Amino acid sequence: MRQLAIGEAGVHAVLLYGPTGSGKGELATALAQAWLCRQPTAEGADGECRACGAFERGNSSDFLRISPGGKSNLIRLASINPVHPDPRPEEEQTVPLKEFFRTSPLMSRHKVALIENAHRMNADASNALLKTLEEPHPHAKIVMTTDSVGGVLPTILSRCLAVACELPTEEELRRQFPEATEDDLRLSEGAPGRLRQILDRKDRYRRLADFARRLPHRKPGEALAVGDEFRAICEGLDAGGGARNANAEGLDLLAAFLAREPSADPRWTHLTIEAHRRILQNGSPGIVFDSLFSSMLRRRAS
């Protein structure tokens, strides 16, 4: 990574991939700042130059962050290529990537774009990005992150340096977080970032773990009450990202827990993943949760 940071590797695009909480976001941010820094050291950005100061204040004109948005949680063409009129809501509009790279950096070594959750690009955005990667500007650098490397176009992958962000072993995780319980570790799926988040709000996450453990012992007639209970648990997970993100996180964690719960029906994990997909597609939480738990408990009864 040192050669990448100081620009000796000849790489203009990097894709960091790994599960949620594996540290790829922190690594992407550090690499972006190192590329912006005017005098990076062997450890990365020096943290002292004007470029670093602007980046740390969040007002660098040479840095562009692109994230999924809208009801479908996608990165659309307008984020990559100029589209007139721009179909995105005003609060989601940023300078398109192609337009951003047209000018040279004002105070930094490079212009840097960070594309978060690159697998959420739709087909038009992916094809537009591919053209930018095929004909890069000399001052342009792109760093991308993804939880699902299989969701990124193979042609994009072939034009990036793909770096896996590996998880620590369970022993390393236990040494780093000695206060973590077995339930905490199961919910985190071994990802340090997610485990740190769980421990910061452990009462709320342990409530979800207790719910998941009791689920195989609930009766079919309780399905609607179970759905209401789960919805209340998800509301407690909302850390400012909105109800849909909290519901999606709750389902994601529930699937992770059930996949390792001996008393749970193996089919329940698939049902929970399908419910997660429906929530991300703007499904009604009440309908999705009622359907999920009715299907689960009916299958258990049969």
Give the model confidence (pLDDT) of 99-125 as tens digits: 999 999 999 999 999 999 999 999 999
pLDDT at 204 over 80: yes
Distance between CA atoms of 115 and 130, rounded to whole angstroms?
13
Mean pLDDT, residues 39-67: 92
Residue 282 — very low, low, confident or very high, per pLDDT cuts 50/70/90? confident
Domain boundaries, the chain: 2-164, 201-301
Q: What is the CA radius of gyration of the chain?
A: 22
What pLDDT, on a 0 to 100 scale, did the predictor assign at position 5? Answer: 66
Return d(Cα 246, Cα 288) in angstroms, integer.
Answer: 14
- Give the predicted TM-score (pTM) of the model: 0.68
CATH topology of domain 2-164: Rossmann fold (3.40.50)
For residue 300, the model assigns a pLDDT of 58
Q: Which pLDDT value is given to residue 71?
A: 73
Q: Of 91 and 5, which is predicted with more confidence?
A: 5
DSSP H helical segments within 108-191, as ranges? 123-134, 154-157, 170-176, 182-188
* Cα 102 from chain centre: 28
* Cβ neighbours around 20 below 10 Å, total: 16
Q: Where are the beta strands (DSSP E) in the chain?
A: 13-17, 63-66, 111-115, 140-146, 161-164
How do residues 71-98 score in pLDDT, each as one tens digit?
778 899 999 998 766 666 665 567 899 9
Residues 45/63, Cβ–Cβ less than 8 Å: no
**For residue 1, what are its two tokens?**
């990574």
3-state class (DSSP) for residue 27: helix
Q: What is the mean pLDDT of residues 228-241?
A: 88
